[in-house]
Structure 1
Amino acid sequence: MPNRFRGEISAQLDGRTWTLVLTLGALAELEAAYECKSLATLLQRFSPDSLSASDMIVLLGAGLRGAGHDVTNDQVAMMQAAGGVAGFAAITADLLTAAFGVTSTEDDELLAEVS
């Protein structure tokens, strides 16, 4: 069971329940991938109006690896979520909320953007 106080979430991917968390190492991985020099810049990168499918793959991959799962971004790209793209957007929004305390309004904007 995920510990929300630690920023963990659970997600259904490929019919399996996974735990995801953006640990400090996972955040450093994302900073390097996007060449961001701060967490604020990284969070701006994942704003609802600029989030892409590639961003979701990289973000979910980092979250899975942060929780100890040995998966590559290529493997994440092949996974399926209930609800398709909207399902992936909901998981991504939940992960960002758990890690950064993003407001529910921003979650709603993210979901509206991909729906």
Structure 2
Amino acid sequence: MANPYAGEVALVIDGQAHVCKLTLGALAELETQLGEDTLVDLVRRFEAGAYASRDVMALLVAGLRGGGWRGTASDLLSAQIEDGPVGAAKAAAMLLARAFAPPP
């Protein structure tokens, strides 16, 4: 079960529950993959609703890796994510928000 106070988000892929978390290592990997100097532009895109599917995929892969998953982005290409693309986008947005939320 995901702990939102620890920045975790639950994601169900192919019927199996996973815990996602943007750790420092996962964030560094995300910056490299997206070619961003900082994550501020990514946050701005999500806040404006101007994100791309590659942003969602990159966030989910980084979050899954931060949660201990050892798969790759290609593993998600044919996977069933619970609630489809909308559920994936919501999970990605929650990951980003929780990664930078102040502690309770």
Structure 1 length-normalised TM: 0.75
Once superposed, what is the RMSD of the aligned Cα atoms? 1.8
Paired residue type of 1:28: A
Q: Partner residue of 1:77?
A: 77
- SS at structure 2 position matched to 1:80: coil
Report 1 or 2 for greater relative contact order, CA contacts < 8 Å, sequence distance ≥ 6. Answer: 2
Structure 2 length-normalised TM: 0.82
Q: Distance in 2 between matches of 1:55 and 1:42?
A: 8
Q: Partner residue of 2:94?
A: 94
- SS at structure 2 position matched to 1:79: coil
Q: Partner residue of 2:62?
A: 62
Q: Distance in 1 between matches of 2:27 and 2:78?
A: 22
Deviation at 1:45, TM superposition (A): 4.5
Give the paired residue count: 101
Matches within 5 A, 1:1-115: 1-101=1-101
Q: Partner residue of 1:109?
A: none
Q: Distance in 2 between matches of 1:83 and 1:2?
A: 17
Deviation at 1:48, TM superposition (A): 4.3
Higher helix residue share: 1
Structure 2 gap segments, 5+ residues each:
none
Deviation at 1:13, TM superposition (A): 1.5
Deviations 1:65-86 (A, max 9, x none): 1111111000122221233211
Structure 1 gap segments, 5+ residues each:
102-115
